Amino acid sequence: MNLADQVLAVNDDLPIRTDKPVHSGKVRSVYWLTEADSRRLIQQKGYNVQPDAPLAIMIISDRISAFDCIWHGEGGLKGVPGKGAALNAISNHWFKLFKDNGLADSHILDIPHPFVWIVQKAKPVMVEAICRQYITGSMWRAYTQGERQFCGIQLPEGLKKNQKLPQLLMTPSTKGILKDIPNVPEADDVNVTREDLINNYQAFNFRNTDDINYYEKLLADGFTVISDELAKLDQIFVDTKFEFGYVTDTSGNEKLIYMDEVGTPDSSRIWDGVAYRDGQIIENSKEDFRQVLLNYFPDPDILLNKERMPERFALAADNALPQDILMQISKIYTGIAEKITGKPITLSQDPKTEIIDILRSEYQLID
């Protein structure tokens, strides 16, 4: 079978029964189930949610995004083989570990296929919850420009690039465009302070200020769980993004849960420990792909300068990357997933057909 056939590039065209538009993001597509199908599955499968809770099928793809663009390769390769299954497997592993360690639940109720989650609808907290253990990326760029206040946190003088920070830092940013919040620009992904969250907790969809303390605890505890486990593999958990939301369980209790993906190469930086101790940075995350792109194109400013977005979109659309670049990224995703989970990531021969067959035969969601 052609390698391109093993990649799930389009994931918003499955014949899943729904009466709402399919929401398709950069990587995942969400199919909201009908009220009748949601009620039936909750009853049949015994999910710990309210009987009338809305459910969705969330399907990951193998697409790869970087610098706000979707990239493709030669030979009709519209994604990275194994990427979707690797991301889901890693998140599934961490969510289970969180539960085993007494942390919060996630939005995932069931896993019918390596590419598929059945999830409950949550009311999202409008915060990109970012944790940093090392100074790199956007924080380092700001630091080199003289900034010492980062999300209201005072950074010490004399830090060096990629150095471990004196303490774990929580540097939240906005999730989406939020309006009418004092001192917070109306733009996506804007850094905010803890004081901003407390003073405007309702605008960020927190129920009360105590939940800000709880979200910070879940953030720090989740980061520590993943960091400790990666350390056993001699991998360094550098920084990551978590997302949170509210759901109601069978007993009617509203609770804060983890949402989206956690601890994956897409949402985190993961460095090889041996290389770091030797003064090198070897990425086991999507940051490696970003660096490949910066080195591959003769004018990397197009990828870094947001004022050149039309050129950037054209660059991604008009350039099929060499297949060996995407296969290099495939090895990073599947390799770190296999290290973390201890299980092989197997490429599906025809992922879309597999998904349709399972959702039809075992969940009666396809006519």
Whole-number pLDDT of residue 347: 87
pLDDT digits (tens, 9 = 90+) for 252-303: 889 999 999 999 999 999 999 999 999 999 999 999 999 999 999 999 999 9
The band of 5, judged by pLDDT with boundaries at 50, 70 and 90, is confident
Distance CA 287, CA 261 (A): 17
Judge whether residue 1 has pLDDT over 70: no
Tell me the average pLDDT across 60-83: 95
Query: How is residue 154 written in tokens?
Result: 């005072």
Q: How many CB atoms lie within 10 A of CB 231?
A: 12
Side-chain-side CA neighbours of 229 within 13 Å: the count stands at 21
| Residues 6+ positions from 3 with CB-CB distance below 8 Å | 75, 77, 81, 323
Mean pLDDT of all residues in the chain? 95
Section 105-134 average pLDDT: 96
End-to-end CA distance of the chain: 28
Six-digit token string for 319: 């350039």
Query: Which residues contact residue 259 at a Cβ distance below 8 angstroms, ignoring those fewer than 6 apart?
Result: 106, 107, 122, 124, 243, 244, 245
pLDDT in tens, 29-49: 999 999 999 999 999 999 999
Residues above pLDDT 90, as percent of the chain: 93
C-alpha of 265 from chain center = 8
Supply the pTM of this predicted model.
0.94
With contact defined as beta carbons under 8 Å apart, do 198 and 238 qualify?
A: no
305 band by pLDDT with thresholds 50, 70 and 90: very high
The secondary structure element, H or E, covering residue 5 is: none
Which residues, in sequence order, are bridge partners of residue 130?
A: 241
Chain segment 186-237, per-residue pLDDT in tens: 988 899 999 999 999 999 999 999 999 999 999 999 999 999 999 999 999 9
Alpha helices in the chain, H assignment, sequence order: 35-45, 83-100, 137-144, 194-199, 210-232, 273-277, 287-296, 301-304, 309-318, 323-341, 351-361
Question: In this predicted structure, what is the pLDDT of residue 200?
Answer: 96
pLDDT value, residue 138: 87
pLDDT category of residue 341 using cuts at 50, 70 and 90: very high
Sign for the pseudo-dihedral over CA of 216, 217, 221, 224:
positive
